[in-house]
């Protein structure tokens, strides 16, 4: 009997836990040939999410309910990573707790993997009904830009909701970077993927954790994680400016030759040149600083999350390869 493991990142989702479970049970009534594991990753919730999960653990009969809770809010990306790291199922998927990722798509996903030879199947939103138009437009721009300037091809509307075989899960986990952008990692690892399309759903209860600022940060982080184009673009920008400066210098030189005494006032052109070049240099420094900061964060090798509580077997809050080193440090 194959096992399907569902990882559910939760951040203040007390109202959604039972609604989600009820719906999932309904779907699995028709998928009785699989064993179900539900792994809740509580991303430092401050409401009753953990209580709800524990209550569920006591009442659930057929399926295995696991949980792992973080010492604080580390973000959805960290929660996904923790879930995948601890996963044991034959097929693993990540699903939002608010039922915006329709559980019934699992049937189609399982069919694609088991009967059509795919390694993974990913849900893709084809409509953004019920979403603010400004958010849809900005997010379309984001997909366009990231696909243009990075080597990965991100499909608009793609989600984190993907059913994967163990092979794909291991591939995702083989990337140990701290600043994680799961959608990009999904695209980067390749494999045979089937897109499963669906219409946007409204959140079943509670509120979205994203505001515009958060979304901007997410988009920005995605681009910086995968694109080195901005860094390369800087060189071209520098060359173009140098060339422009040469041309302008030639022009000013010739003009000065022909101008009389009064025409040799170079104040304006000098000011323009200084301000322009100054602006460009500061921008470029900022851009380099951005990548430098990333390198700094990566070399520090801080854990992606810290565990507070869990009912998982053989668990610890540090990734396997770093556990030994961590133990050494803390016992000294
Ligand atoms: N989430 C999380 N950590 C966070 C923010 C969100 O684990 O810091 C979870 C959240 O509980 C939900 C999923 O990620 O299960 C998607 O979040 P949300 O519904 O708020 O995002 P939206 O659907 O509005 O993009
Ligand atoms: Mg949501």
Q: Which residue has the higher pLDDT, 282 or 159?
A: 159
Pocket of ligand 1 (CB under 6 A): 9-11, 13, 43, 73, 75-76, 79, 96-98, 100, 203, 208-210
Q: Note the pLDDT of residue 74.
A: 92
Q: Note the pLDDT of residue 255.
A: 78
DSSP for 213-249, please give it: HHHHHHHHHHHHHH--HHHHHHHHHHHHHHHHHHHHH
Q: Note the pLDDT of residue 261.
A: 59
Give Cβ neighbours of residue 271 (< 8 Å, ≥ 6 apart): none
In the block, which residue shows the tokens 């990913």? 122
Picking from 328, 303, 329, the residue whose alpha carbon sits closest to that of residue 316 is: 303
Q: If you measure from the C-alpha of residue 209 to the centroid of ligand 2, how many angstroms do you get, rounded to a whole number?
A: 8
What is the token pair recorded at 1? 């009997």
Summarised one tens digit per residue, pLDDT across range 219-261 is 888 888 777 777 777 777 888 888 887 788 788 778 777 776 5
Report CA Rg, the chain. 26
Q: Note the pLDDT of residue 209.
A: 79
Residue 268, pLDDT > 50, answer yes
Shortest-distance ligand to the CA of residue 210: 1
pLDDT band at 142 (very low <50, low <70, confident <90, very high): confident
Assess contact for 58 and 26: CB atoms under 8 A. no
In the block, which residue shows the tokens 């995605």? 222
Q: If you measure from the C-alpha of residue 8 to the centroid of ligand 2, how many angstroms do you get, rounded to a whole number?
A: 12
* Among the ranges given (7-16, 102-111, 119-128, 278-287), the one the predictor scored with the smallest mean pLDDT: 278-287
Q: Note the pLDDT of residue 324.
A: 55
Helices (H), 122-228: 133-149, 166-173, 182-189, 212-226
Q: Which residue has the higher pLDDT, 213 or 192?
A: 192
What number of other Cβ atoms are within 10 A of residue 186's Cβ? 24
Global confidence as pTM: 0.76
Which atom of ligand 1 lies at the shortest distance from residue 96's CA?
15
In this prediction, residues 184-200 reach a mean pLDDT of: 89
For 66, the 3-state DSSP assignment is strand
Assess contact for 8 and 99: CB atoms under 8 A. no
What is the token pair recorded at 38? 């539900």
Most confident option among 74-83, 199-208, 213-222, 242-251? 74-83
């Amino acid at each position: 009997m194959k096992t399907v493991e569902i990882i559910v990142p939760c951040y203040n989702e007390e109202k959604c836990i039972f609604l989600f479970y009820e719906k999932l049970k309904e779907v699995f009534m028709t998928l009785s040939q699989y064993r179900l594991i539900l792994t809740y990753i509580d991303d430092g919730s401050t409401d009753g999410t953990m209580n709800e999960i524990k209550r569920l653990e006591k009442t659930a009969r057929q399926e295995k309910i696991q949980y792992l809770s973080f010492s604080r809010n580390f973000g959805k990306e960290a929660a996904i990573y923790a879930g995948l790291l601890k996963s044991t199922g034959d097929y693993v998927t990540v699903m939002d707790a608010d039922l915006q990722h329709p559980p019934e798509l699992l049937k189609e996903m399982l069919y694609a993997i088991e009967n059509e030879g795919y390694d993974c199947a990913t849900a893709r939103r084809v409509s953004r009904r019920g979403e603010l138009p400004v958010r849809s437009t900005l997010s379309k721009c984001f997909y366009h830009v990231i696909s243009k300037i990075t080597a990965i091809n991100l499909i608009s509307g793609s989600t984190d909701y993907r059913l994967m075989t163990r092979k794909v899960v291991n591939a995702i986990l083989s990337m140990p970077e701290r600043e994680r952008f799961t959608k990009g990692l999904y695209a980067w690892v390749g494999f045979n993927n089937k897109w499963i399309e669906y219409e946007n759903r409204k959140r079943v209860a509670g509120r979205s954790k994203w505001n515009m600022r958060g979304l901007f940060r997410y988009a920005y982080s995605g681009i910086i994680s995968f694109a080195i184009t901005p860094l390369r673009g800087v060189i071209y920008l520098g060359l173009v400016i140098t060339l422009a400066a040469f041309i302008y210098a030639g022009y000013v030189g010739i003009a000065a030759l022909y101008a009389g005494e009064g025409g040799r006032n170079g104040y304006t052109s000098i000011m323009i040149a200084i301000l322009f070049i100054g602006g460009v240099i500061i921008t470029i420094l900022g851009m380099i600083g951005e990548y430098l900061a990333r390198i700094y964060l990566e070399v520090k090798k801080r854990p992606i999350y810290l565990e507070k509580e869990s009912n998982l077997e053989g668990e610890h809050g540090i990734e396997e390869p770093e556990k030994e080193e961590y133990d050494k440090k803390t016992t000294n």
